[in-house]
Amino acid sequence: MFFKPGSIIGASFFAGGAGAYALYRQNKNREVQVQETNMILKREESTSPASSADSSKAAGSDTSVPPVTSTALVLYTGGSGGIVPEKNKSSGSPINVGLESLRYGFPGPINDSGVRQSYAYSYNRMMKNPNWIAEHLTRDTIKGPADRQKSKFREDSSIPHKNRTHLSDYFRSGFDRGHMAPAGNSKFSQQAMDETFILSNISPQVGEGFNRHYWAFFESFIRDLTNRYKHVYVITGPLYLPSHDPKTNKWTVTYQVIGNPPNIPVPTHFFKAVLATNNEPSPVSPTSSSNKEPYFMQAFVIPNSKVLNETPLQNFITPIDAVERATGLELFSSIDRKKDPVSELCSHTVCKVKIDPRYID
């Protein structure tokens, strides 16, 4: 199987919105000043009664994640930008028609983002797949006493029942529940490993020849990078890429949908973007380093289908900016690729998967 980078993922299409990612959920009132219209959005967050019921004691639900919050937008208008000649009857102040359209709520889209023990995540409610999962691997995080046999798949109760992925969606679907952040990356803590089984970290993957084989070997390759680099950062996510029909000469995005009712698209491909470095994080700023060792970056895009074990990993190398165009994401944005010392990972180390005989029948 051969993959030509750039020819497919350079196309423009949607892969699920990439919302701004907050490191921690804010559960208090906050105000944002919008200069153009002098509008203040006061985000009043309160626990939704429906979501509280969802996060209860249902089998397979995640009771360790805080309940989902609903956001009410209260609009205060002022200033002159965009104001139309219409007066508020009670106050006499001008009304911005555009702002008034949001009086009864902001429709979204809403991307559920958060941080768990071993990864950060962004979940797409429409696609019911992660937008992305981010990890930081070291020699210490991939070792430890955690036992995969003690972990169980569970629903993410922080996401409303109507928008979350359900355990029943995978029943007889023909697809594996594929980890974006692998369980094997979180051996340092049983809780960390357990959290990799939350369904907001899961996408439907082909089992035979992919999730149980080549993709698993690829994940091992990523872990092995910690033998050479002190810090390995990984961003993983699904893709929904177009394919070319030679008969019509048209490009179309086609994917299977699973679930009951069918509501979970099966990604056509998956990507991993990797940054490896021996730089130590700065104690002053999380976006800078205390020394100037080089950074080694590489992105890979692999089809969600059976891949022969002998397929060279180099076949799946893809330019990082092409992945960014395909997903709408900004990957390792604090690194200036023009000014900082950045090289391709596979020019510095051997990019090759090792076939694990334990997974071969």
pLDDT for 48 beyond 50 = no
pLDDT in tens, 130-160: 999 999 999 999 999 999 999 999 999 999 9
Where helices occur in the chain by DSSP H, the ranges are: 49-54, 97-100, 190-195, 214-224, 320-327
Residues flagged as binding site for Mg(2+):
211
Q: Which helix (H) or strand (E) holds 86?
A: strand 84-87
Cβ atoms 57, 63 nearer than 8 A: yes
Using CA of residue 220, residue 271, residue 256, residue 171, what is the dihedral sign?
A: positive
Using alpha carbons, list the distances in angstroms from residue 190 to 152, 167, 199, 343. 11, 21, 17, 35
Whole-number Å distance between alpha carbons of 198 and 55: 13
Q: What is the reported pLDDT for 188?
A: 96
69, 142: one domain: no
Q: What is the pTM of this model?
A: 0.75
Domains: count for the chain: 2
Q: What is the reported pLDDT for 164?
A: 96
**For the chain, how far is it from start to end, CA to CA, in angstroms?**
21
Boundaries of domain holding 137 = 111-359
Cβ atoms 197, 245 nearer than 8 A: no
188, 47: one domain: no
Phi–psi pair at 176, nearest 5 degrees: -80, 155
The CATH code of the domain that includes 266 is 3.40.570.10
Mean pLDDT score across all residues of the chain: 80
pLDDT in tens, 219-238: 999 999 999 999 999 999 99
Domain end, chosen from 46, 79, 100, is at: 100
Which of 9-23, 122-136, 287-301 shows the lowest per-residue confidence on average (mean pLDDT)? 9-23
171, 216: one domain: yes
Domain end, chosen from 80, 100, 120, is at: 100
179, 297: one domain: yes
For residue 20, is it within any domain? no
- Please say if 166 is a catalytic residue: no
For residue 5, is it within any domain? no
Q: Which residue has the tokens 């969802």?
A: 54
60, 158: one domain: no
Q: Which of 166, 179, 231, 269 is catalytic?
A: 179
91, 173: one domain: no
Which of 5-14, 122-131, 190-199 shows the lowest per-residue confidence on average (mean pLDDT)? 5-14
For residue 89, is it within any domain? yes
Residues flagged as binding site:
211
Q: Enumerate residues 6+ apart whose C-beta is below 8 A from 339.
A: none
94, 193: one domain: no
pLDDT in tens, 176-197: 999 999 999 999 999 999 999 9
79, 163: one domain: no
Whole-number Å distance between alpha carbons of 278 and 260: 47
For residue 17, is it within any domain? no
For residue 14, is it within any domain? no
For residue 22, is it within any domain? no
Beta bridge partners of 231: 277
210, 64: one domain: no
